[in-house]
A and B are shown apart, each in its own frame.
Chain A
Amino acid sequence: MRVRLLDIAHARSGDKGDTANVGLIALRNEWYPILVRYVTRERVTEHFANVIKGSVERFELPNLFALNFLLHGALGGGGTVTLRTDAQAKVYSSAMLRLVIEVPDAEAREAGLPEYRA
């Protein structure tokens, strides 16, 4: 089953130099393991492949049912240098929520995940 992150998570993003951080939080606590399993560093690297220049790091915060991603080389040089509209990575959060993951049907049904049809 295809599941879009917008339907199972919320997010906030910010900047540090040329790096964007995206905190991704499960909409329901029981969906956190789905994020851990399927929103991998590799999957996020692939998602942002044509958007950022550097690598992706992922950190787990099981206490907050959240993952934190660092997207390096994401801001065209960063805060004051960049020519981007989104100089401070404010909307990387919703760019992350566009990501669609593939979850095995049985697991998706058991977790009550909403299917993404598009």
Chain B
Amino acid sequence: MSRIVRIAAGQGFWGDWLEAPRRQVEGGPIDYLMLDYLAEVTMSILQKQMQRDPLAGYARDFITQMEGVLPAALEKGVRVVANAGGVNPRGCAEALLAMARGLAHHDRLRVGVVSGDDLLPRIDELIAAGHELAHMETGAPLSTVRARVLSANAYVGAPPIIEALARDANVVITGRCTDTALILAPLMHEFGWPANDWNRLASGIVAGHIVECGAQSTGGNCAYDWSTIPDLENVGFPIVEVAEDGSFVVTKHPGTGGRVDVHGVTEQLVYEMGDPREYFTPDVIADFTTIRISDDGKDRVRVFGVHGTPPTDKLKVSIAYRDGYKAVGTLVYAWPDALAKAKEADRIIRARLATLGLTFDLIHTEFVGATATHGPLATIPDELPEVQLRIGVRGNDRKAIERFTREVAPLVLTGPPGVTGYAGGRPKVEEVVAYWPALVDKSVIRPSVSILTT
């Protein structure tokens, strides 16, 4: 029988189910545990944390979760690959080692740290050298918002993770890398796939795409026949069983809830998709129109036939910058005439803001229970039991946003009747952190790997 590598996904974003990593390690045989913590906006939050505390800047949940997972993982030889390092992979590794010193088998721990994705200290040097870091959609050069940049990280691919694994790391911690590299790298390491084996690399990318959002491929957030998906309170996170030729089966541990079928896996394949013929990664361009998918028994879906082509010479860069302020306030209006009353309250707030002479980039109103999710496409019954007025403002004038936060609660005594739900207090003013996607030449990014032990 040919060899199979089993990779389990234990976290689809920072804030995902805390129990999942431990359940993946204890629920059955796996070779790797992959944990994805970093969404686009996460890096800027972590950068702010590190500015306040130089020891912070990584996903702290990772340390807590590893406390429950690490002894069993080290004993069974399960290796962990996680992008928990955020903007401080070294700090994350040090925290892991400090925690692990009290655990069984800690002498076996070898932590591989991947760094080099952080471009924040290099932005001016890069711009001076002619790298515009232009916005991928608008084309504007980064210099237009340079002073407000909070974080800048290149999405690195599989090679540094492979290097860490080749140097016998059993926990690999990265900063910003592609989610899919967390899956592809162990496969390239285990099977020795060459870096130009485009079809097998593309297959690894597809495997990564399917499992990187955790239980979204095992029955979570699944629209197909959703009400019959069993036992979601006990949902099993996805596992890919990959063969040497790159084909793989998506499954989950026996005895767990949820469902793995062609319908659900197909939903996940089209999630966050752009042009399906060109799924760009730094390692390979995968063609999602070549994917073949078939039923392989209960809670098993087979994926094969994926084609890939060489990547470009660019890396994507994720940049976050300050872009003003926002606040959102809510009130709840009850039957009768709930929607009409909420609309009247909205009109009154807007009129008062105008009288105060306040200006905003945007005032946005939603009527939750009526049109908040589908807007004018929604069909609204004659009688609604209740409607939540949700009004938000955005702009650069912090004082104006703060004044807005004082204009919501007064509606309780000065507006239409039948209003409640204001007990949460005044809306909070939040700083807006905007996202600036850019490309940079691959040649200027030099990821590095170091190995740490207890």
Contacts and interface: CB of A to CB of B under 8 A. Distances in A.
Pairs A-B, 10 closest by C-beta atoms: A23-B270, A83-B392, A14-B272, A83-B364, A12-B267, A10-B223, A10-B224, A95-B374, A50-B376, A91-B373
A39 B112 CA distance: 49
A25 B272 contact: no
A48 B376 CA distance: 9
18 contacts: A10-B267, A12-B267, A17-B435, A18-B137, A21-B273, A23-B270, A59-B276, A61-B288, A63-B293, A64-B269, A64-B291, A68-B270, A80-B320, A80-B432, A81-B394, A83-B392, A85-B368, A86-B373
A23 B372 CA distance: 21
A2 interface: no
A78 B274 CA distance: 16
Contact of A51 (B293, B377, B435): B377
B390 interface: yes
Contacts of B326: 81, 83
B270 A64 contact: yes
B290 to A, nearest CB: 7
Given A11-B223, A61-B276, A81 B289 contact: no
Contacts of A16: 272, 274
Interface in A52-88: 59-66, 68, 70, 76-81, 83-86
A12 B276 contact: no
Contacts of A23: 267, 269-271, 273
B270 A25 contact: yes
B41 interface: yes
A84 B433 CA distance: 15
Given A16-B272, A63-B292, A70-B274, A91 B266 contact: no
Interface in B328-364: 328, 362, 364
B391 to A, nearest CB: 9
A47 interface: yes
Contact of A64 (B40, B275, B293, B364): B293
A13 B375 CA distance: 16
Contact of A85 (B288, B390, B432): B390
Interface of B: 40-41, 137, 221, 223-224, 263, 266-277, 288-293, 320, 323, 326, 328, 362, 364, 366, 368, 372-377, 390, 392-394, 432-435, 437
Nearest to B391: A83
Given A17-B435, A23-B271, A76-B362, A61 B376 contact: no
Nearest to B226: A10
Contact of B374 (A60, A63, A66, A98): A98
Contacts of A77: 434
B270 A66 contact: yes
A45 interface: no
Contact of B221 (A12, A21, A60, A65): A12
A17 B275 contact: no
- Grouping DSSP codes into helix (H, G, I), strand (E, B) and loop, the B interface class, with mixed when no group exceeds half, is mixed
A93 B38 CA distance: 24
A67 to B, nearest CB: 9
Contacts of A70: 274
Nearest to B265: A64
Given A12-B223, A12-B267, 10 more contacts: A10-B224, A21-B271, A21-B274, A51-B377, A59-B276, A63-B290, A64-B266, A64-B270, A65-B266, A91-B374
A12 to B, nearest CB: 4
B158 to A, nearest CB: 22
A15 B274 CA distance: 10
A40 interface: no
Nearest to A50: B376
Contact of A14 (B271, B288, B432): B271
A17 to B, nearest CB: 6
B354 to A, nearest CB: 18
Contacts of B224: 10, 25, 27
A79 B364 contact: no
Interface string A26-55: 010000000000000000000110110000
Contact of B377 (A25, A47, A81): A47
Contacts of A63: 289-293
Given A10-B263, A11-B223, A79 B41 contact: yes
Contacts of A10: 223-224, 263, 267
Given A78-B435, A81-B394, A85-B366, A15 B291 contact: no
Nearest to B262: A64
Nearest to A15: B272
A71 to B, nearest CB: 12
A60 B287 CA distance: 12
Contact of B41 (A60, A61, A80, A98): A80
A94 B293 contact: no
A59 B275 contact: yes
A51 B437 CA distance: 24
A25 B267 contact: yes
A95 B377 CA distance: 7
Contacts of A51: 374-377
